Amino acid sequence: MPNPLANVTVLDLTHVLAGPFATMTLADLGARVIKVERPRSGDDTRAFPPFKDGKSAYFSALNHSKKSIALDLKAEADRVVFHRLLARADVVVENFRPGVMERLGYGWSDLHAAYPRLIYGAVSGFGHTGPDAKRPAYDMVAQARGGVMSITGEKGRDPVRVGASIGDIIAGMYLTQGVLAALYDREQTGKGRKIDIAMLDSQLAILEHAIAITTATGTPPGRTGARHPSITPFETFHASDGLFVIAAGNDQLFEKLCICLALPINEDPRFATNPARCKNARLLKRLIEAVTLDNTTAFWIAKLGAAGIPTAPIQDVAQVLKDPQILARKMVVDVLDRNGRHAFTAAGNPIKLSGMEDRTTRPPAPDLDGNRGEILHWLDEAEAR
Q: Report the catalytic residues.
A: 228
Going by the DSSP 8-state scheme, the letter that residue 351 receives in this structure is -
State the Cα–Cα distance between residues 372 and 82, nearest whole angstrom. 12
Using an 8 Å Cβ cutoff, are 62 and 24 in contact?
yes
Residue by residue, DSSP assigns 153-203 as S-TTS-----SS-HHHHHHHHHHHHHHHHHHHHHHHHS---EEEEEHHHHH
Using an 8 Å Cβ cutoff, are 273 and 251 in contact?
yes
Q: Residue 139 half-sphere exposure, CB side, CA atoms within 13 Å?
A: 16
| Beta pairing class for 234-239 and 242-247 | antiparallel
Q: Which amino acid is at 310?
A: P
Q: Which amino acid is at 366?
A: P
Length of the chain: 385
Residue by residue, DSSP assigns 295-336 as S-HHHHHHHHHHTT--EEE---HHHHTT-HHHHHTT-EEEEE
**Degrees, nearest 5: CA angle 176-177-178:** 90
